């Protein structure tokens, strides 16, 4: 077995102290290989969001180790984790988090701005990413002029524009109707299948989790069940994905 892309070892997360102490994670061990599509499930308060924040290098474990490509994330500084995020990770949120009154293209270019890319490089990369999510020609629309599904696609384009190793999606379909949700899942599945991007997704909708090839269930701060999905959904609604777009 090759070295995993992500390895959590005995990770705990503690909030507060004394009487008010809350143990959100109680010793998690989790290995994720490059190229996996993992759905993280569980009821609210089960610790799945906390785990997701740690996996996304936004938070650090109270105890235990987090190895990302062999690097000890738990000992990195705030800025070092930011550099790691900008290089390897892409984020998709439930609430899209697009900048208002800012065109789709500028939204997608945002991560590249922090990487110091030139305007030309940014424009080309953003156009490519927007094409990959089926929004070619929508570059100059602002979020207010786009539907919810389209906004989430812009957000996905923003997540993949840096060509990350991992895309972390936190309830990406939580604000969308069923039809749009399936479109977004089809998109994430295609990114994982065709471009080898590792996708970690938090969801509580079994229909959406069914697209993943592995499901991890959290209950009460522990992993209750971690199993391959024997029969992942592969027939998503038709979403145009340009060949070699990413």
Partner 1 sequence: MLYSVFMLALRSIRRNLLRSFLTILGIVIGVSAVITMVTLGNGATASIKAQISGLGTNLLMVRPGQRSGPGGGGGGGGGGVPQFNEADAEAIAAQIGGVAAVAPEGRASATVVANGRNWATSIIGSSNAWFDTGNWKLASGRIFSDEEQQAGSAVCLIGETVRREIFDGTVGQTGLGAQLRVRKFSCIVIGILAGKGQSGMGDQDDTVVVPLRTLQRRVTGNLKVATLLVSMRDGSDATRLKASLTQLLRERRKLATGDDDNFNIFDTQQLAETLSSTTQVLTTLLGAVAAVSLLVGGIGIMNIMLVSVTERTREIGLRLAIGALEHEVLLQFLIEAVVLSALGGVIGILIATAASWGLSSLMGVPYAFDPFINLLSLAFSAGIGVLFGYFPAKRAARMDPIEALRHE
- Give the footprint of partner 1 on this chain (CB under 8 A): 53, 56, 58-59, 78-79, 82-83, 85-87, 89-91, 93, 95, 97, 99-102, 106, 110-111, 113-116, 158
Which C-beta is closer to partner 1: that of 37 or that of 96?
Answer: 96
Which C-beta is closer to partner 1: that of 167 or that of 215?
Answer: 167
Which C-beta is closer to partner 1: that of 97 or that of 178?
Answer: 97
Q: What are the distances in angstroms from CA 14 to CA 20, 22, 35, 75?
A: 10, 6, 30, 17
Q: Any idea which residue has 């900048």 for tokens?
A: 99
Taking the C-alpha atoms of residue 155 and residue 135, their distance in angstroms, rounded to an integer, is: 11
Among residues 57, 105, 62, 60, which one has the least CA distance to residue 81? 57
Which C-beta is closer to partner 1: that of 84 or that of 219?
Answer: 84
Please report how close the Cβ of residue 90 comes to partner 1 at its closest, in angstroms: 8
Please report how close the Cβ of residue 168 comes to partner 1 at its closest, in angstroms: 10
Please report how close the Cβ of residue 210 comes to partner 1 at its closest, in angstroms: 27
Please report how close the Cβ of residue 231 comes to partner 1 at its closest, in angstroms: 34
Which C-beta is closer to partner 1: that of 140 or that of 225?
Answer: 140
Please answer whether residues 218 and 48 qualify as being in contact, where contact means their C-beta atoms are separated by less than 8 angstroms: yes
Please report how close the Cβ of residue 188 comes to partner 1 at its closest, in angstroms: 18
């Amino acid at each position: 077995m090759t070295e995993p892309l992500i390895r959590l070892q005995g990770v705990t997360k503690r909030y507060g102290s004394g009487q008010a102490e809350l143990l959100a994670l109680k010793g998690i061990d989790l290995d994720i290989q490059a190229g996996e599509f993992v759905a993280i499930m569980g009821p609210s308060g089960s610790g799945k969001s906390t785990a997701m924040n740690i996996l996304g290098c936004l938070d650090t474990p109270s105890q235990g180790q987090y190895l990302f490509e062999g690097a000890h994330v738990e000992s990195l500084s705030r800025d070092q984790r930011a550099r790691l995020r900008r290089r390897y990770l892409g984020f998709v949120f439930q609430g899209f988090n697009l900048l208002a009154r800012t065109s789709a293209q500028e939204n997608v270019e945002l991560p590249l701005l922090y990487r110091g890319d030139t305007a030309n490089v940014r424009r080309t990369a953003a156009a490519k990413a927007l094409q990959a999510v089926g929004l070619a020609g929508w570059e100059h629309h602002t979020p207010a002029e786009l539907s919810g599904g389209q906004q989430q696609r812009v957000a996905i384009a923003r997540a993949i524009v840096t060509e990350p190793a991992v895309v972390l999606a936190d309830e990406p379909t939580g604000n969308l109707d069923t039809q749009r949700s399936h479109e977004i899942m089809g998109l994430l599945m295609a990114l994982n299948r065709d471009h080898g991007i590792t996708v970690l997704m938090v969801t509580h909708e079994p229909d959406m989790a069914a697209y993943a090839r592995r499901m991890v269930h959290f209950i009460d701060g522990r992993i209750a069940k971690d199993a391959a999905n024997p029969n992942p959904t592969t027939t998503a609604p038709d979403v145009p994905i340009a060949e070699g777009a990413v």
